[in-house]
Chains A and B, each alone.
Chain A
Amino acid sequence: MPAPEPDDLRALGQKLDQATAKETRKPVEAPSAMGIAFRFATELGAALFVGAGLGWLLDKFLHTSPIFLIVLFCLGAAAGIRNVMRAAAELNARAAEAAKNDKEQ
């Protein structure tokens, strides 16, 4: 029985390694522009909603209308911007990682 050609096998092995490396390192789907916009919009909107809602509830129970509503609405706006900044930092980090992987290939 003829032995398998080691060179061919080695070449095949290398090719397989390259292919699997490329596959495993492939970044998971960069989000589309609309996806990013949607992400930012919900982060900002939800924070405003939560801030105002919380303020309204506090006012209702403490009978301090409209102090908490105003204060927490402003804080909610700040939290929303914080959320968007955090989301942007996260997306940037992912994009940078994807770019690095692309360069390595």
Chain B
Amino acid sequence: MAMNPMEQFEVKPLVPLHVGHYDVSFTNQSLWMCVVVAASIGFFLYASSSRSLVPTRAQSMAEIAYEFVGNMIQSASGEAGLRFFPFVFTIFMFVLLSNFFGLLPGSFTVTSQIAVTFALAAMVILTVIVTGFARHGLGFLMLFVPKAPWYLLILLVPIEIISFLTRPISLSVRLFANMLAGHTMLKVFAGFVIALGATAISPKPWFAPISIAPAFLIVAITALEILVAFLQAYVFAILTCIYLNEALHLHDHH
């Protein structure tokens, strides 16, 4: 069968289920989301079970993750942002583990579906809006009013509102597009390994380096993808912190 680099993103029902007119089948997507959540919970339960003063390897990994996210929140949104630690930490771990699990051969990348990333981004923005109104009441709307003469505000307020509406979209599209592009690239280069590997049996000796080149390249690209997997989880989490910071402190950062 010809290889289709986009086939890996197909959502296939594993257990078909229908409720009324809605298709709520348990898909490979649902399965891998469960795997990610179970792995995350399992790891942290295991890592925190010993609670030794001198941490074991697992415990120290959990502590590093905890401190990493803690520092990130503190630097981006200050002490007040630490109340959102569970939220940001959950999102960070979910995205990070989804990205990493997606790199396993034969697995499914949960974050390569815009439905998932947009749901995450919508959750972040709703949290920001609720926090903003809870803390500042209607004063939160001052977020859309930059410091400028009144005649410019006619133009600037709509711009700020559009700019705010942009956030869930740029947040979700960035993660989704990175994962989609990375995994497509991996599959395409993996196809080259086979296609050019076949030329190794060619009688012409100068073909040999060409035939093994893609195999080395895909090792390098896989390494790059591991970096991207981490970086995108980090970007998603830090932007969450930055948006929360604006909801918490309004114009303080100007």
Bound CA span A39–B171, Å: 9
Chain B residues with CB under 8 Å of A79's CB are: 159-160, 162-163, 166
CB–CB A50/B165 < 8 A: yes
Chain A residues with CB under 8 Å of B60's CB are: none
CB–CB B158/A75 < 8 A: yes
Of residues 215 to 238 in B, which have CB atoms within 8 Å of A's CB atoms? 227, 230-231, 234-235, 238
CB–CB A83/B166 < 8 A: yes
Please count how many residues in chain A sit with their CB below 8 Å of the partner chain's CB atoms: 27
Indicate the member of B71, B162, B231 with the most A CB atoms within 10 Å.
B162
Please count how many residues in chain B sit with their CB below 8 Å of the partner chain's CB atoms: 24
Chain B residues with CB under 8 Å of A76's CB are: 162
Tell me the smallest distance from the CB of A22 to a CB of chain B, in Å: 14
Chain B residues with CB under 8 Å of A32's CB are: 227, 231
CB–CB B173/A46 < 8 A: yes
- Is residue B36 within 8 Å, beta carbon to beta carbon, of the partner chain? no
Question: Between A and B, how many residue pairs show CB distances below 8 Å?
Answer: 67
CB–CB A46/B158 < 8 A: no
Chain A residues with CB under 8 Å of B170's CB are: 42-43, 45-47, 83
CB–CB A51/B177 < 8 A: no
Chain A residues with CB under 8 Å of B230's CB are: 29
Bound CA span A90–B170, Å: 16
CB–CB B235/A39 < 8 A: yes
- Mark interface residues in A67-90 (1 if CB within 8 Å of B CB, else 0): 000001001101110110010001
Q: Which chain A residues have a beta carbon within 8 Å of chain B's beta carbons?
A: 24, 28-29, 31-32, 35, 38-39, 42-43, 45-47, 49-51, 54, 72, 75-76, 78-80, 82-83, 86, 90
Q: Which chain B residues have a beta carbon within 8 Å of chain A's beta carbons?
A: 68, 71-72, 155, 158-160, 162-163, 165-166, 169-170, 173-174, 177-178, 227, 230-231, 234-235, 238, 242
21 contacts across the A-B interface (CB closer than 8 A): A29-B230, A29-B231, A31-B235, A38-B177, A42-B177, A43-B170, A46-B169, A46-B173, A47-B166, A50-B162, A50-B169, A51-B162, A54-B165, A72-B162, A75-B158, A75-B162, A78-B159, A79-B159, A82-B159, A82-B160, A83-B166
Per CB-CB distance, the 3 closest pairs between chain A and chain B, nearest first, are: A46-B170, A79-B162, A79-B163
